[in-house]
Amino acid sequence: MKTWGTKRWRLAAITVIAGSVLLSSAACGGDDKKSSSWQGGAEPGSSAGAPAGGSEASQQPLPSTVAVTSPAADAKNVVAISPIKYTTEDAEGTTVKVTDAAGKEVEGTLDKDAKTFTPAKALAYGTKYTVTVTGPEAEGKTNTTTSTFTTMAKPSKVVRVTSFLGDGQVVGVGMPLIMKFGRSIPESYRDDVERRMVVTATPAQEGTWHWTSPTEVHYRPKVYWKPNTKVFYKVSLAGVPLGDGYYGRSDLTVDLKIGRSLIMTVSNKTKQMTVKENGKVIKTLPVSLGKPSTPSSSGTMVVIEKKKHTIFDTTDELGPEEGYRTPIDFAQRITWSGQYIHAAPWSEGKQGKVNVSHGCVNVSEAMGAWLFNKTLMGDVITVSGTEEKLKNGNGWTDWNMSWEEYKKGSYL
């Protein structure tokens, strides 16, 4: 188990159980040893049979039905996203209130089963907070306890967290959600990061996060997004420990929409592309793929970016003799290595018959314009039957893996 003050933190409820055992032992008075975790009750070693109204008995505080176990009373330098943990004799009948120095109440979630209050966002740095726990009334016991703690100073080492997608975007059914970090996240902290990145899809769909590198994590559903799904994700990493003394810089939310379903399927055997919209074939068109020396990749990709007019320049990569610099219309990138769907009027006589491209999916000028006007970033294209298999990571290859394989990239 990792502690708050050293390597990392966890919201696990098991620490509450441990605290509860200590408190119940002290409160019952069955152990003659003094316990620093005991609050509000008589000294465990005191005589249970002391006469009522005696001077010793009158000085003993009443035992309590509730106690705060974490953060410790008067604790300093508390991590700003620390949960509040407590014990109680009646979970359902207990309330928790957290206030700042000005008396303003902190918003959060109360998990009565785990006996944990979790702030909705990171608490203010360098601020004193008061926890008030109120439990059921019980004869001979108090039912309210208070405890204070002070949060850590604002950290100087922070990690910026950014989303590739933004509010209001409409994307294809294959679009992964992409989060990037300004610094590598150590493996031992990635499960904590995933827990604080919550995706809500309407309608609901099963999905998971998958780390593509130490600085980037993607999310995809088990199968393609359902058309017209509303997607909202909240990333709550402000104040979260991210290793080596670094903390998350801020929180963010993104609210976007999945568009209609558009799937492009390309067969090297037939040299044809089939386009389906919402499950129905709307177009079949001839293509020319990569020639044997520069084959197209077989696998499932998505549209990464679109450029109506651009220039392909390979002279730096291949040299002035083998390289080329060619104006291109209706270019849609599908791999980082430079494979695109694009208009290629010079190969129209070859399309549907023979492969002549440098790895791209060549279509006619007219079909290039038609496709360009139909597609969204995140639309799916699957190519099959070529000499080379798509390498994972060469583009957004989230769908080039089985669901079982994809899940292995999560740290939960």
SS3 per-residue string spanning the chain = CCCCCCCCCCCCCHHHHHHHHHHHHHHHCCCCCCCCCCCCCCCCCCCCCCCCCCHHHHHCCCCECEEEEECCCCEEEECCCCCEEEEECCCCCCEEEEECCCCCECCEEEECCCCEEEECCCCCCCCEEEEEEECCCECCEECEEEEEEEECCCCCCEECEEECCCCCCEECCCCCEEEEECCCCCHHHHHHHHHCEEEEEECCCCEEEEEEECCEEEEEECCCCCCCCEEEEEEECCCCEEECCEEECCEEEEEEEECCCEEEEEECCCCEEEEEECCEEEEEEECECECCCCCCEEEEEECCEEEEEEEEECHHHHHHHHCCEEEEEEEEECCCCCCEEEECHHHCCCCCCCCCECCCEEECHHHHHHHHHHCCCCCEEEEECCCEECCCCCCCCHHHCCHHHHHCCCCC
pLDDT of the residue at 11: 36
The class of domain 14-151 in CATH terms is: mainly beta
Catalytic: 28?
no
Q: What are the beta bridge partners of residue 361?
A: 341
pLDDT of the residue at 323: 66
pLDDT of the residue at 318: 61
Predicted structure pTM score: 0.79
- ∠ CA 246-249-255, nearest 5°, is 135
CB-CB contact of 108 with 118 (8 Å): yes
User: Which residues of the chain register pLDDT less than 50?
Assistant: 1-55
Q: Which of 114, 12, 111, 132 is nearest to 67 (CA)?
A: 132
The architecture (CATH level 2) of 158-259 comes to Sandwich (2.60)
Of 210, 218, 342, 358, which one is the catalytic site residue?
Answer: 342
Phi, psi of 313 (to 5 degrees): -125, 110
Q: In what order do the strands lie in the sheet with 207-213?
A: 161-163, 177-181, 216-221, 207-213
pLDDT of the residue at 86: 97
pLDDT of the residue at 242: 97
Domain ranges of the chain: 14-151, 158-259, 262-395
Q: Each residue of 206-234: pLDDT tens digit? A: 999 999 999 999 999 999 999 999 999 99
Catalytic: 309?
no
pLDDT of the residue at 319: 66
* Intrachain domains 14-151 and 262-395 with the same fold: no
**Token pair in block for residue 36:** 């620093």
Of 210, 218, 358, 360, which one is the catalytic site residue?
Answer: 360
The architecture (CATH level 2) of 262-395 comes to Beta Barrel (2.40)
pLDDT of the residue at 316: 65
pLDDT of the residue at 192: 95
d(CA 325, CA 237): 45
